[in-house]
């Protein structure tokens, strides 16, 4: 059984966060340390530690993460200019919180994708 992270507490509203969206599968909230004018995290409500742990049973939630990111990008007014969706995995991917999450980052030109 994977160990819960702070994100499970945010999903259950046990600790404060700027939650923008929640349904039965996913929750979206603003990143506490934004790297761009818009920086939102979209997470499955179910604890999945890394993208290595996803299963075919998770495909609905994973698809929902993208449709919610798309909606939030439109809500934030960055859809037309564009944005980046990022999922980090494990140490080399720079993952800090072991509950998978998609970063929705935008609001300025992000430049070429940085690898390293």
| Interface pick for ligand 5GP out of 24, 96, 114, 116 (rule CB under 6 A) | 96
User: Which residues contact residue 82 at a Cβ distance below 8 angstroms, ignoring those fewer than 6 apart?
Assistant: 106
Which of the residues 92, 99, 101, 103 is marked catalytic?
101
How far, rounded to the nearest angstrom, does the alpha carbon of residue 40 sit from its chain's CA centroid? 6
Please confirm, yes or no, whether 99 is among the known catalytic residues. Answer: no
Tell me how far, at minimum, the Cβ of 35 lies from ligand 5GP, in Å. Answer: 7
Residue 52 Cα distances to 8, 13, 14, 42, 93, angstroms: 19, 27, 27, 17, 12
Bridge partners of residue 38, in order along the sequence: 106
Tell me how far, at minimum, the Cβ of 114 lies from ligand 5GP, in Å. Answer: 14
Distance from C-alpha of 41 to C-alpha of 35, rounded to nearest angstrom: 12
By CB under 6 A, tell whether 32 contacts ligand 5GP: yes
Tell me how far, at minimum, the Cβ of 103 lies from ligand 5GP, in Å. Answer: 6
Instruction: Candidates 20-28, 31-39, 44-52, 68-76: pick the segment binding ligand 5GP (CB under 6 A).
Output: 31-39
By CB under 6 A, tell whether 29 contacts ligand 5GP: yes
Two tokens, residue 72? 């939030």
By CB under 6 A, tell whether 97 contacts ligand 5GP: yes
């Amino acid at each position: 059984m994977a160990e819960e992270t702070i994100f499970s507490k945010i999903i259950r509203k046990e600790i404060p966060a700027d939650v923008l969206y929640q349904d039965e599968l996913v929750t979206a909230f603003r990143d506490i340390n934004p790297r761009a004018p818009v920086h939102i995290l979209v997470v499955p409500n179910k604890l999945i530690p890394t993208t290595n742990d996803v299963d075919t049973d998770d495909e609905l939630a994973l698809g929902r993460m993208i449709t919610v990111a798309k909606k939030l990008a439109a809500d934030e007014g960055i859809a037309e200019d564009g944005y980046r969706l990022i999922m980090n995995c494990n140490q080399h991917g720079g993952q800090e919180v072991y509950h998978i999450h998609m970063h929705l980052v935008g609001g300025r030109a992000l430049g070429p994708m940085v690898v390293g």
